[in-house]
Amino acid sequence: MMTTLPTDPAANLATLIRCQSVTPTEGGALTSLAEMLNPLGFAVDRQTFSEEGTPDVENLYARLSGNGPHLMFAGHTDVVPVGDEAAWTHPPFSAEIADGMMYGRGAVDMKGGIACFVAAVARHVEQNGPLKGSVSLLITGDEEGPAINGTVKLLEWAAARGEKWDAAIVGEPTNPETLGDMIKIGRRGSISGRLIVHGRQGHAAYPHLADNPVPGIVTLVDALLHPALDEGTAEFQATNLEVTTLDVGNPAVNVIPARAEAAFNIRFNDSWSAENLQAEIEKRLEKAAGSTRLRQGRSEPIVYELIWTGRPSPVFLTRSEKLIEHMGAAVEAITGRRAALSTSGGSSDARFIKDYCPVVEFGLVGKTMHMVDERVALDDLETLTRIYQRFLQDWFV
């Protein structure tokens, strides 16, 4: 009996959307993906990684081996929660189609990219026979989560087994408006911190008996924001520091709070490393806290704590002209558009892959990712599949 190959990206995507793989739950998505890859001859490994204080995460590594270059496709099958399910026009795990659009959580971020790449490989094998090289899929269930038990450990596991890659594509939704708009060739770095100013609680009518931390936190936040950290570089937009919370946890208008907190995130360009940017922030705060606060007519230092939170993400830029040119040529051949090369946006798992091989990101239009009624045009699924197929055809020559 002839085995049906997974050449239809819409059918592939519908299967994946119907798997309720809200991070960190596998939800059947990796099992479904393995079932698509087996008829193509992929050797599939499933690896679950653990770390204290984090959920266990199951991941998938699949390889179709051949003689020649080794291309990695990387992505994730985990998705963010659906939010208010009643607000969805179509059930979020139904993969229903209406007016040429497929609805479902993960449709563009990023089960759609995986579905298209699998279809592209299947079409190539069906039409041309075996690839003149090796293709691997490195798929995590932890991209939308803490990113601890996913891509980082899966890369380490594969490399320890002797796996080496010549190039990688990450199938995240990179296009802002139309398929063919943008190829990501790097990402800004990211660091986050929390600032706490300590005071003393008291009655608002008797400020001399209390110590209000609010003026102090305002002073320190202003020092973080001004002056601007830089004006951008040739390859990257300007570094931006965003204050994301400012809170005293105080429901009473007649009580001076005991402490005030602010959280912030910085997306930085190649003017900085995480280390020297942290040093700059610490210097600004130390200077601003030194003698700027007047309390009962006296100048006093602001008492504060700075806590760096999470793991810094490094800034990176892909230097492989061959990889960039091949992806750009494939996009232009299928869409007629010359994609802009960009380093904009947030972070992705490309920040881990760049330590092993050159990497670019190209996927669907991301306008509805993480939103209610996340959806993808069926025409875009077909177009992206053809782009990936053209890339495979030209890469493996």
Give the C-alpha separation, 83 to 87, whole Å.
8
Give the C-alpha separation, 184 to 100, whole Å.
27
Q: From the candidates 26, 58, 143, 211, give the one annotated as an active-site residue.
A: 143
Q: Is 26 annotated as a binding residue?
A: no
Give the C-alpha separation, 62 to 319, whole Å.
26
Q: Is 144 annotated as a binding residue?
A: yes
Q: Is the peptide bond before 227 cis (omega within 30 degrees of 0)?
A: yes
CA angle 314, 306, 190 (to 5 degrees): 15
Q: From the candidates 26, 58, 78, 270, give the one annotated as an active-site residue.
A: 78
Give the C-alpha separation, 45 to 26, whole Å.
14
Give the C-alpha separation, 59 to 347, whole Å.
20
Residue 29 class from Cβ within 10 Å (0-12 exposed, 13-18 middle, 19+ buried)? buried
Q: Is 78 tagged catalytic?
A: yes
Q: Is 124 annotated as a binding residue?
A: no
Q: Is 143 tagged catalytic?
A: yes
Q: How far is CA 237 from the centre of its chain?
A: 18
Provide φ and ψ at 276, rounded to 5°.
-75, -20
Residue 100 class from Cβ within 10 Å (0-12 exposed, 13-18 middle, 19+ buried)? exposed
Q: Is 96 annotated as a binding residue?
A: no
- Taking Cα atoms as reference points, which of 170, 188, 368, 201 lies closest to residue 270? 188
Q: Is 300 annotated as a binding residue?
A: no
Binding residues for Zn(2+): 76, 109, 144, 172, 370
Binding residues: 76, 109, 144, 172, 370
- Residues serving a catalytic function are 78, 143
